[in-house]
Amino acid sequence: MQKSKPDRYGTLAVSIHWLSAVLILALMGSGFRAANAMDAATKIDILRFHIPVATVVLLLTAFRIVWRWRFDLKPRPVAGSPAWQERIAHGIHVAFYVVIFGMVASGIAMVVLSGAAAAVFGQPGAMLPNFTDYPPRALHGLGGFLLVALLVFHAGAALYHQFIRRDRLLRRMWFGN
């Protein structure tokens, strides 16, 4: 069941969702760790992980959007959910996409403007710049905190549905029947 059904998401959507979630958590951890690293060598090692994983998240997110809009069905809203909750849920999902694309754009801008690619990808003698000297750094940092807020809100809403409303919402975004 690759495609979604009216009552649940398909295996492709579920796989992309959970893989993206794990990778975004890894990006957040490595990003905050890189931002606080004092040693340039440590920061370079972290960025060698962070940049390729961010590229994978970008590709997964773009694929997920195309898959959802062109090929997949969208499950019906959870029975009994007020329309305002559905609008907020939709808004949170759109915000995720906007913040993810914004994070990627500001990350690329930082690397390009600062010339950090030479140091990160191994050009001998290349020095890692101070990213705070470049305007996209502030947007990237703000995006990181926005992503944390969105994830807390998203996970909190899912847990609310699962344990307070007991409407088995999480079952829709998991594997199997």
Region 8-32: mean pLDDT is 96
In a domain, 90, yes or no: yes
In a domain, 2, yes or no: no
Domain count, the chain: 1
**Residue 177: is its pLDDT beyond 80?**
no
Q: Which domain range does residue 99 map to?
A: 11-172
Q: What is the pLDDT of residues 113-122, one digit of tens each?
A: 999 999 998 8
Question: How far is residue 174's CA from residue 14's CA, in Å, rounded to a whole number?
Answer: 6
CA dihedral for 114, 115, 119, 125, sign (positive or negative):
negative
In a domain, 177, yes or no: no
Q: CB of 105 within 8 A of CB of 140? A: no
Q: Please report the pLDDT score of residue 174 as a whole number.
A: 92
Whether the pTM exceeds 0.75: the reply is yes
**pLDDT bucket at 80, cuts 50 / 70 / 90:** confident
Question: How far is residue 3's CA from residue 81's CA, in Å, rounded to a whole number?
Answer: 23
In a domain, 3, yes or no: no
In a domain, 130, yes or no: yes
Q: What Å distances lie between residue 75 and 121, 172, 173, CA to CA?
A: 43, 9, 10
Residues 6+ apart with CB under 8 A from 121: 48
**Residue 99: is its pLDDT beyond 90?**
yes
